């Protein structure tokens, strides 16, 4: 029997054992997630509004009518573009801040690193509603600390569309960078000192060592934190809703999650809100699939 056949059989056996251990958790997840998703898809296929909820009118089956109306609505595409752009800024900012502080953490004394980690974990542990409210108070037009320091008392940071988006993005980055910082710090500390010393002995500069030695070794972790950040930032709701008072003036600061909430609960168009939820779920499943593939490739590389 060839060695390759033996390895294949061992892998199949290990896979069966792994699935056997995971089966209870998978059944629980199927029950907790499968039924709500089924109901979401079902509601999206009907004209389901306040009259239907109160029993004043019968349900009307629309099939893909809600999806056709959604995809033909220019506001949906505007909101989708805003969601993608907002998530991209948040992900890029989170990676830059988290990576910079991870590198800084490896170069400071123990007491400074401890204070930095405590501050970062405090930001990470702060509930989204509390963190958003604090940031909103700091940038208050009349009583905010930022306007006092800048001497711009009376300036509203949430009136302009893009400034409001920038303010919310800064808050999202503030509460998200600790995950990246801690993960990459652990990755940097796991790099063998001998590898870095060998690069230095070969005459590589600090920048060349970082680009050619450290970054390739951190690539699997960077890929994971990037995809994880995309999933988190794509479905932001609380920060936008709290800091822009439900989506900004005339809905200029809407993202998909807030848009779905407005359609379902403010406009009582539950079928349309469910359709938006299904589209978001499909997009997030695609991102999650990419995340799982990245994890698998990372495991193969390691």
DSSP class per residue in the chain: --HHHHHHHHHHHHHHHHHHHHHHHHHHHIIIIIHHHHHHHHHHTEE-BHHHHHTSS--EE-TTHHHHHHHT-HHHHHHHHHHHHHHHHHHHHHHHHHHHHHHHHTTS-HHHHHHHHHHHHHHHHS-HHHHHHHHHHHT-TTT-HHHHHHT-TT--TTTSHHHHHHHHHHHHHHHHHHHHHHHHHHHHHHS-HHHHHHHHHTT--HHHHIIIIIHHHHHHHHHHHHHHHHHHHHT--HHHHHHTTTTSGGGTT--HHHHHHIIIIIS-BHHHHHHHHHHHHHHHHHHHHHHHHHHHHHHHH-
> pLDDT digit string (tens) for 14-25?
667 777 888 888
C-alpha–C-alpha distance, residues 251 and 262, integer Å: 10
Q: What is the mean pLDDT of residues 211-234?
A: 83
Check residue 151 and give its pLDDT.
83
Check residue 12 and give its pLDDT.
56
Check residue 167 and give its pLDDT.
92
Check residue 266 and give its pLDDT.
82
31-40, 55-64, 110-119: range with highest mean pLDDT = 110-119
Residue 161 in this model has a pLDDT that exceeds 70:
yes
- Which candidate, 173, 144, 163, places its Cα nearest to that of 249? 163
- Which candidate, 138, 127, 163, places its Cα nearest to that of 244? 163
Could you count the other beta carbons within 10 Å of the beta carbon of residue 241?
22
Domain ranges of the chain: 74-301
pTM of the model: 0.82
Check residue 206 and give its pLDDT.
67
pLDDT category, 240, cuts 50, 70, 90?
very high
> pLDDT digit string (tens) for 178-204?
999 999 998 888 888 777 777 777 766
Check residue 94 and give its pLDDT.
94
pLDDT category, 88, cuts 50, 70, 90?
very high
First to last CA, the chain: 28
Check residue 6 and give its pLDDT.
43
Check residue 245 and give its pLDDT.
86
C-alpha–C-alpha distance, residues 90 and 46, integer Å: 35
> pLDDT digit string (tens) for 41-53?
898 898 887 777 7
- Bridge partners for 269 per DSSP: 49
Structure tokens at 191: 């790099």
- Which candidate, 209, 211, 208, 186, places its Cα nearest to that of 197? 209
Residue 155 in this model has a pLDDT that exceeds 70:
yes
Residue 11 in this model has a pLDDT that exceeds 80:
no
- Which candidate, 99, 189, 14, places its Cα nearest to that of 6? 14
Pick the more confident residue, 258 or 59.
Answer: 258
Pick the more confident residue, 97 or 213.
Answer: 97
Furthest C-alpha separation in the chain? 80
Residue 210 in this model has a pLDDT that exceeds 80:
no
Check residue 86 and give its pLDDT.
94
> pLDDT digit string (tens) for 120-136?
988 888 888 999 999 99
Pick the more confident residue, 206 or 109.
Answer: 109
Domain 74-301 has CATH 3.40.630.10: no
Residue 3 in this model has a pLDDT that exceeds 70:
no
């Amino acid at each position: 029997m060839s060695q390759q056949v033996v390895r294949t059989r061992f892998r199949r056996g290990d896979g069966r054992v792994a699935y056997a251990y995971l089966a209870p958790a998978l059944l629980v997840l199927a029950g907790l997630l499968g039924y709500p998703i089924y109901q979401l898809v079902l509601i999206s296929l009907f004209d389901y509004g306040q009259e239907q909820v109160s029993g004043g009118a019968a349900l009307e089956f629309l099939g893909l009518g809600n999806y056709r109306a959604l995809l033909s609505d220019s506001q949906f595409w505007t909101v989708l573009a805003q969601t993608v752009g907002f998530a991209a800024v948040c992900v890029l900012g989170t990676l830059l801040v988290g990576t910079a502080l991870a590198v800084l953490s490896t170069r400071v004394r123990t007491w400074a690193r401890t204070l930095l980690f405590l501050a970062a974990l405090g930001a990470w542990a702060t509930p989204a509603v509390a963190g958003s409210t604090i940031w909103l108070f700091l940038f208050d037009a009349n009583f905010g600390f930022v306007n006092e320091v800048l001497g711009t008392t009376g300036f509203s940071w949430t009136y302009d569309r893009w400034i409001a988006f920038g303010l919310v993005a800064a808050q999202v980055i503030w509460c998200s960078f600790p995950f990246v910082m801690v993960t990459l710090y652990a990755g940097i500390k796991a790099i063998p000192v001998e590898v870095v010393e060998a690069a230095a002995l070969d005459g590589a500069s600090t920048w060349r060592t970082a680009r050619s030695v450290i970054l390739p070794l951190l690539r699997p972790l960077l890929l994971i934190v990037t995809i994880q950040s995309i999933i988190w930032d794509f479905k932001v709701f609380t920060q936008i809703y709290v800091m822009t008072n439900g989506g900004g003036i005339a809905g200029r600061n809407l993202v998909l999650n807030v848009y779905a909430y407005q359609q379902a609960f403010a406009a009582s168009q539950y079928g349309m809100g469910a359709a938006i939820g299904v589209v978001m779920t499909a997009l997030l499943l695609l991102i999650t699939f990419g995340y799982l593939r990245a994890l698998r490739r990372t495991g193969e590389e390691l």
